């Protein structure tokens, strides 16, 4: 499966996205239907889990602070009180999953921002790269 994070393209991934050395997002497509499944751990600035998605369903949602909207081809996780889009993921083509928008903490407490043009963590950023990962995980940070 190919994964796009902002404008960065990661070809032939295993669907896992490691951020600062921690597997934080996993995307998969159901074999027959092609439906999107997302596993995601959301941390606060101290590295504590505040929300967790398992197969695109909120399993942990501290203080009911987050909302998830999903279709078979998309997932949108938001924090309604602040209006922040935590994670927006879409199936953009067969076998291609795109993370087009997001803002959340890594386990180490840093903020990662994903826009259609780039991803950035503090001063580290990437835009417009293309990598063939040969079945391995996407590594960010």
Q: Which of 56-87 are b and which e, b meaning 16 or more Cβ less than 10 Å from the residue's Cβ?
A: bebeeeeeeebebebeeebbbbbbeeeeebbb
pTM (predicted TM-score):
0.94
Only one residue has tokens 């795109």, namely 98
Return the half-sphere exposure (C-beta side, CA atoms, 13 A cut-off) of residue 98: 15
Domain ranges, residue 47: 2-140
pLDDT tens for each residue of 9-44: 999 999 999 999 999 999 999 998 999 999 999 999
**What is the spatial distance between Cα 118 and Cα 126, in angstroms, rounded to a whole number?**
6
The mean pLDDT of 46-67, rounded to a whole number, is 94
DSSP 34-84: --EEEEEEEE-TTS-EEEEEETTEEEEEGGG--EEEEETTEEEEEETTTTE
**What is the spatial distance between Cα 112 and Cα 106, in angstroms, rounded to a whole number?**
7
pLDDT tens for each residue of 90-127: 999 999 999 999 999 999 999 999 999 999 998 999 99
pLDDT at position 62 is 87
pLDDT at position 87 is 98
Structurally, the chain folds into a number of domains equal to 1
């Amino acid at each position: 499966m190919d994964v796009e994070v902002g404008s960065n393209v990661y070809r032939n991934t295993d669907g896992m996205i490691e951020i600062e050395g921690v597997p934080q997002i996993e995307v998969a497509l159901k074999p027959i239907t092609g439906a999107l499944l997302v596993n995601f751990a959301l941390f606060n600035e101290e590295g504590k889990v505040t929300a967790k998605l398992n197969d695109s369903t909120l399993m942990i949602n501290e203080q009911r602070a987050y909302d998830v909207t999903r279709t078979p081809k998309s997932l949108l996780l938001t924090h309604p009180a602040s209006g922040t889009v935590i994670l927006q993921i879409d199936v953009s083509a067969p076998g291609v999953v795109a993370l087009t928008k997001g803002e959340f903490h890594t386990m180490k407490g840093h903020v990662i921002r994903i826009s259609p043009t780039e991803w950035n963590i503090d001063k580290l950023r990437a835009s417009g790269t293309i990598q063939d990962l040969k079945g391995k995980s996407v590594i960010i940070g």
